[in-house]
Structure formats: structure tokens, C-alpha cells
Amino acid sequence: MDLTQAEADYLFALEKVRRSDDPQQFPDIGTDLELALVSRDGREDFILNVARGRIKITKCSYQNRARSVAVLARLDIDGPPHQNPDGTYVPCPHIHLFREGYADKWAFPAADDVGPISKDVQTVYQQFCRFCSIIEPPVLQGGLF
């Protein structure tokens, strides 16, 4: 799906709320979770993904998608460095932000956008939700490294 930068910026800034009040278990090591979100006005659907690493237990990714496939933002914790299209490398933690013509291929140091990254997955989850304008995030229980 091709989005313009203006569309992606609009979708990113929309206030999002959880579709369900049912608590979910934070993903175990090597698993992931997909959670439904909706814009406050009910016109746009979003998906929030949380994925845990299989080998490196501190590895975790948080992703916010619009229109099923368009990645608006993805935060990668304790993974490998990312190579941007211009050849520069960005170490973890880093955040991928949609950029027209490149989708989520560009990454930036996470602390520049999200703030200092904690070792606690629940704290990072809350930070990421705030960053993505998720004002009523899904309730996740557990999540110890």
C-alpha cells in the first residue's frame, strides 16, 4: 500500500484507542501479539504488534500499523543495528518511521524520538504507545525478561 507522507503523518497523529478492554498476556519469549486499535472517531483501524525475541530474551519489537500493512512506526529493542538506505547504520534501540517512497526502511536512534529506553518491557510499551498517539492502549499483563 502506498501512502503519501501527509497521509502517514495524519494517521500517525490520530488518537488511537483499544478495541477491547480484555487484558492480554504480554508475549512470552519467542512469541508475538497482535492487538486491534481504532481511531477515536472510529473511522480508521490500526494494529499494534508486540514481538519477543527467541534467542536473545531482551530483544523486543513494538509496531504500529495502519490500513493493515502500512508500518507507521516500529521500535526495535536489543536487536542488530539497522542499515539505512543511505548506507548509515543505526544501533539498537532504534525506531523505524514511515517515510514516503521508503515505507519503514529508515531508522533513527530511539532516544531521539521516544525518550530514554528502559530495560522494563512494560515501561517501553507505555512509552511507545504514547509516542504513537495510542491514548487508551490495550491492557497487557506480565512481561518480565
Is the model's pLDDT at 136 over the cut of 80?
Answer: yes
How many CB atoms are located within 10 Å of the residue 19 CB?
14
Which pTM was predicted? 0.92
**Res 144: pLDDT:** 56
Quote the percentage of the chain above a pLDDT of 70: 97
Pick from 25, 107, 96: nearest CA to 62: 96
Is the model's pLDDT at 69 over the cut of 90?
Answer: yes
The distance of Cα 77 from the centroid of its chain, to the nearest Å, equals 11
Residue-wise pLDDT for 72-123, tens only, equals 999 999 999 999 999 999 999 999 999 999 999 999 999 877 877 888 888 8
d(CA 78, CA 106): 17
Pick from 13, 54, 50: nearest CA to 32: 50
